[in-house]
């Protein structure tokens, strides 16, 4: 049987790196894309090919996709995984940074989708897997712009799923909870920087410290947990619309549905 061709963004670290590895070990032809390609060298023995791509740069997206299509002639699965958490008080995050958050987490993914769809349609099949988060289901303390990006990912993916059904193209959302990667340290740095010398500084510093402690400890799930979920989403004959994964993710989404809003707010503000 022909190997399925997968393109995964954000493949240079964390969830993307582990997913690229697991997919290659399971017989997929994997192209890993990121701005830094050096970390992908460790996956070369498994046959993973690296593509330099900045998802905020249209030309870089086109070049990477052209390279893949020239070599393989097809693309079966696109995994939009590149992303970061621009944490900070909504009042204090510079609007340019808020735009960048949406450029990376939302518009980059949607641009790639626009470019791969003609290929998938002509193949009569394809699968798009978008990395959302439990932050696409409820708001996080000081996570407003990140939440906006993941809520957008949820809405766009739900709409896409209906639009693409007639063409045999599946759309799947992955909703991880807290996963031990660089993500938390990057989010904590953004939070500290954006709230420095503002009325939010004390509270933001407390939260940034908690974030950093959480992401440096051993409580959070390993990115391999998400990689396994991605593999399920890639191989399922009829994939689900959503896969949630990671310790505590399901209970938190359930509590958000069941608890009164202000009660859930208290839970979120006190846990960060
Ligand atoms: N960790 C968590 O707790 C968690 C929970 C829920 C959802 N998520 C989501 O999971 C995804 C992966 O995050 P992670 O936890 O694995 O974090 P990570 O280890 O920091 O990885 C983020 C990846 O995104 C890439 N990236 C960032 N900006 C980019 C850009 N402009 N162009 C291309 N690639 C870019 C990075 O590569 P380069 O810097 O090399 O470009 C890196 O490979 C993100 O969408 C994140 O929001 C994470």
| DSSP type of residue 74 | -
Quote the pLDDT of residue 94: 97
**Ligand 1 binding pocket, CB closer than 6 Å:** 9-16, 34-36, 53-56, 81-84, 104, 131, 133, 176, 178-179, 181-183, 186, 223
Quote the pLDDT of residue 165: 98
Nearest atom, ligand 1, residue 149 CA = 47
Q: How far is residue 151's CA from residue 184's CA, in Å, rounded to a whole number? A: 19
Quote the pLDDT of residue 272: 81
CA 214–ligand 1 middle distance (angstroms):
17
What residues form DSSP beta bridges with 170?
127
Q: What is the CA radius of gyration of the chain?
A: 18
CA 9–ligand 1 middle distance (angstroms):
8
Helix (H, G, I), strand (E, B) or coil at 79: strand
How many C-beta neighbours within 10 Å does residue 107 have?
Answer: 17
Place of tokens 């394809």: 126
176 membership: H or E segment, kind and range? strand 169-176
**Alpha helix locations (H) across the chain?**
14-25, 58-72, 95-102, 108-123, 144-164, 183-195, 201-216, 223-235, 249-258, 261-271
Give buried/exposed letters for 69-98 (b at 16+ CB in 10 A, else e): beebebbbbbbbbbbbbbbbbeebbeeeeb
Quote the pLDDT of residue 212: 96
Asked whether 85 and 92 are in contact (CB, 8 A), the reply is no
Helix axis angle, 95-102 relative to 144-164, nearest 10°? Answer: 30
Pocket test residue of 14, 39, 42, 272 for ligand 1, highest count of atoms within 8 A of CB:
14
Q: How far is residue 200's CA from residue 190's CA, in Å, rounded to a whole number? A: 13
Quote the pLDDT of residue 102: 98
CA 80–ligand 1 middle distance (angstroms):
10
Q: How much is the mean pLDDT over the chain?
A: 97
Nearest atom, ligand 1, residue 53 CA = 33
Q: How far is residue 69's CA from residue 119's CA, in Å, rounded to a whole number? A: 9
Catalytically active residues are 146
Pocket test residue of 7, 8, 9, 10 for ligand 1, highest count of atoms within 8 A of CB:
10
Quote the pLDDT of residue 2: 86
**Tokens encoding 53:** 């791509």
CA 131–ligand 1 middle distance (angstroms):
9
Quote the pLDDT of residue 106: 98
Tens-digit pLDDT string for the chain (272 aa): 789 999 999 999 999 999 999 999 999 999 999 999 999 999 999 999 999 999 999 999 999 999 999 999 999 999 999 999 999 999 999 999 999 999 999 999 999 999 999 999 999 999 999 999 999 999 999 999 999 999 999 999 999 999 999 999 999 999 999 999 999 999 999 999 999 999 999 999 999 999 999 999 999 999 999 999 999 999 999 999 999 999 999 999 999 999 999 999 999 999 88
**Tokens encoding 271:** 């846990």
Nearest atom, ligand 1, residue 132 CA = 7
């Amino acid at each position: 049987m022909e190997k399925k061709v997968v393109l995964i963004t954000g493949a240079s670290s964390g969830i993307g790196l582990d997913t690229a590895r697991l997919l290659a070990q399971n017989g997929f032809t994997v192209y890993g894309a990121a701005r830094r390609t050096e970390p992908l060298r460790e996956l070369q023995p498994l046959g993973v090919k690296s593509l330099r791509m900045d998802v905020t740069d249209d030309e870089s997206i086109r070049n990477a996709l052209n390279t893949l299509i020239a070599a393989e002639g097809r693309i079966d699965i696109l995994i939009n995984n590149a992303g970061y958490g621009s944490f900070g008080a909504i009042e204090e995050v510079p609007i340019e940074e808020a735009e960048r958050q949406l450029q990376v987490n939302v518009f980059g993914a949607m641009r790639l989708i626009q470019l791969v769809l003609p290929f998938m349609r002509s193949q009569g099949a394809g699968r798009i897997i978008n990395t959302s988060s439990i932050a696409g289901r409820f708001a996080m303390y000081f996570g407003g712009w990140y939440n906006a990006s993941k809520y957008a990912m949820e809405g766009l993916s739900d709409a896409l799923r209906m639009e693409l059904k007639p063409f045999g193209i599946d759309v799947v959302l992955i909703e991880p909870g807290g996963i031990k990667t660089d993500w938390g340290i990057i989010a904590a740095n953004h939070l500290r920087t954006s709230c420095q010398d503002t009325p939010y500084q004390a509270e933001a510093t407390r939260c940034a410290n908690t974030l950093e402690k959480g992401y440096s400890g051993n409580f959070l799930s390993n990115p391999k947990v998400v990689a396994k979920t991605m593999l399920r989403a890639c191989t399922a004959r009829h994939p689900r619309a959503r896969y949630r994964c990671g310790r505590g993710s399901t209970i938190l989404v359930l509590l958000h549905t069941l608890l009164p809003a202000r009660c859930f707010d208290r839970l979120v503000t006190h846990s960060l």
